[in-house]
A and B are shown apart, each in its own frame.
Chain A
Amino acid sequence: MPRITLEPRFQVEYLSILDSDGNLDTALEPKLAGEDLRALYRAMVLGRRLDERMVRLQRQGRIGTFAPTKGQEASQMGSAFTLRRIDWMVPSFRETAAMIWRGWPIEKLLLFFAGHLEGGQPALDQHDLPITIPVATQLPHAVGLAYAAQYRGDDVVVMAYFGDGATSEGDFHEALNFAGVWHVPVVFVCQNNQWAISVPLKKQTHSRTIAQKALAYGLPGIQVDGNDVLAVYAAAREAVDRARAGDGPTLIECVTYRLGVHTTADDPTKYRTDEEVAMWEQKDPLTRFRAYLEKRNLLEANVEQRIDEEIAEAVRRFESAPPADPLTMFDHVYAELPADLKAQREAMAAREPAAPARTGEMPPPSPTPMRGQRLTRR
């Protein structure tokens, strides 16, 4: 019996279009309209400025623990920008910039991070899943959404986000395996930010790339410069188009860096050097993209200032929200209120003062029609 070398045609591409020195590969440069480029930049700046503001709000005790985005704006926005409104975005817990772009009002996200249930409530026409905390568990859900699309004959595409650490979880592998076997329209976007809390990538996996993990499941994998918004966009555009055309899932690895803390409960000086952070600051996705827009004469005047005003307004609206109504604890545990919860709710209602009336600005907490009873078909 022979012992021969099989020749599976495996390859993993790396894509970079605009590097940190401002060099541009014009042959690969995506054909985006000026208005689109401006919108992308605005969304990235909004992500950065809001992130910085949220860290301050957290330090002041006005919101709870959260996972900052800083440094990952290009990975998030380059990919999310390729989605239509009816496509689905499935976040993990660090996609604030992309979530705002997808339609979460800023004050609603702030409410979420302050613990209000309505903050986690996407608008009825918004095809976004809420934030999820157990690492990688959202990935099988994304495959489920895509299976449902296939089941109904919808042409929606699902884009799911996760980190480098998540690729060690079983749910990551199970999701890629299902997506491969069923050939469903999912784009898996890994934001490889080099760290999973204090664990560096080399302790997470012995693979040369994360992208190559796709190959084992029979799907294409591509590694991109995750701080190059043009490269992320180009790779995502290709993957989304392929998925929509019925040609199956893709794994995109965005090589990026978490410039800030893991969460506001973390102190990264304990496990990484200032030099490393400084090195990645040189590759800041915003600086690079700004220079590109400047060169193309597309930079809007005062864009940062206008964004800061927008954030300030949202923070004001957020601050005017009354504290969470104690009785909402029992809302949405079940589709109906079972007897034991009803009794506990009544006991609490008798103990706790009535909740203050809400301002008209916030969406009412209930009743909302159950999402599951709607079809996603256009």
Chain B
Amino acid sequence: MAAMTYREALNLALREEMRRDPRVFVIGEEVGLYEGAYKVTQGLLKEFGGQRVVDTPIAESGFTGVGIGAAMVGLRPVIEMMTFNFALLALDQIVNSAAKMYYMSGGQFNVPIVIRGPGGPAAQLAAQHSQSMETYFYHVPGLKVVRPTTPMDAKGLLKSAIRDDNPVIFIEAETLYSVKGEVPDDPEFLIPLGKALVRREGTDVTVIAYMGMMYRAMEAAEELEKEGISVELVDPRTLRPMDTETIIGSVRKTHRAVVVEAGAGFAGMGSEIVAFVTEQAFDDLDAPVERVTGANAPMPYARNLEKLKTPSKDKILAAVRRVCNANGS
């Protein structure tokens, strides 16, 4: 174990996988000489050279398409989106090509790419730069979608994503790059995709959250502990395929659930989680499942409005108290 930042953990994952497999290469805007807009590719150009750390023209659809082509003949590109907001320019390549090629070629061409970069609310980056982009991708059969909350997850999940034979959307967060945590040194340390994690055990209510919202939920849980409410925290880690089993198992134990997500709530991740919890564990519930989500508005630029748009610890506290005070137990 070593203590390192989320950024360093991602960098280590890239470095280890590039050392391990000569087919892995990194491609995107500013990934080489500049070492990434958020410095995730620090030192890679120096170690691996310009053919494996490729600075591209500013053309998201173009370099995503190039990556798909290279992946179809057996390379394993890791494509960096400067931020995921700009992946919208590559949406056709991701949805119509990356996600469909294996299917439409009758299993002849798989597309083992990872598309990674930050997404979600940041610090005053405004409407076009702060969106929770996972919603655009997890709807699509053929894609896997990962949101790693901690440095350990960042390393273990990115390594698994690179080794995965499917296209993987891997969305990090600007606000987490400097978060520190313990990360295993073992170059074979992997976290399987599609496995949720119970980050905190509890008995009264299950709170499902990921990324920055998990840290906020963690603080809320500590505070609720003092009030005598025992919160179980579940982090899905992979949004597609979703580990419904772990979430349902936790709800069956606690009989109450709150989903927290940073993005706009309408047709968001919370909607899906509430739907399958209701379908599969209705009889176990003692209260309606609550969602704590971002407002259904674009992210404001103003600092005070930005704060109001995103779910706060107070909103999480209020939601948990509401479900715990509901009738049934």
Residue positions of A touching B, CB distance < 8 A: 117-122, 124, 129-130, 132-134, 137, 139-148, 150-151, 170-171, 174-175, 177-178, 181, 331-336, 338-341, 365-368, 370-376
Contact = CB atoms under 8 A, between A and B. Distances in A.
Given A338-B194, A372-B112, A141 B72 contact: yes
A172 B108 CA distance: 25
A373 B74 contact: yes
Contact of A140 (B25, B93, B101, B108): B93
A374 B141 contact: no
B59 A174 contact: yes
Interface string B79-117: 000000000000011001100011111111111100000
B104 A120 contact: yes
B56 A178 contact: yes
Q: Which 7 A-B pairs have CB atoms at the shortest separation, nearest pair first?
A: A144-B69, A140-B65, A174-B62, A121-B106, A141-B69, A335-B165, A338-B241
A133 B141 CA distance: 18
B207 interface: no
B61 interface: yes
A218 to B, nearest CB: 12
A372 B74 contact: yes
8 contacts: A120-B106, A174-B62, A331-B107, A334-B166, A338-B241, A340-B241, A372-B72, A375-B74
B29 to A, nearest CB: 13
B57 A181 contact: yes
A371 B110 contact: yes
A130 B103 CA distance: 11
A156 B106 CA distance: 24
B78 to A, nearest CB: 14
Most chain B CB within a 10 A radius of its CB, from A147, A150, A373, A376:
A147
A374 B72 CA distance: 10
A151 B51 contact: yes
Nearest to B101: A130
A118 B70 CA distance: 23
A148 B75 contact: yes
B110 A335 contact: yes
Nearest to B51: A151
Given A120-B105, A373-B74, 20 more contacts: A122-B105, A132-B97, A137-B92, A137-B93, A141-B66, A141-B68, A143-B66, A144-B67, A144-B72, A146-B69, A174-B62, A177-B57, A178-B66, A331-B107, A332-B107, A335-B110, A335-B164, A335-B166, A372-B72, A374-B74
Nearest to A134: B96
B69 A117 contact: no
B142 interface: yes
B64 interface: yes
B20 to A, nearest CB: 16
B166 A141 contact: no
B73 interface: yes
A137 B245 CA distance: 38
B63 interface: yes
Given A130-B105, A130-B109, A140-B62, A145 B70 contact: yes
A151 B105 CA distance: 24
Contacts of A133: 96
B92 A121 contact: no
B71 interface: yes
Contacts of A117: 103-104, 106
A60 B234 CA distance: 56
A131 to B, nearest CB: 8
Contacts of B144: 334
Given A151-B70, A376-B73, A130 B104 contact: yes
A331 B106 CA distance: 8
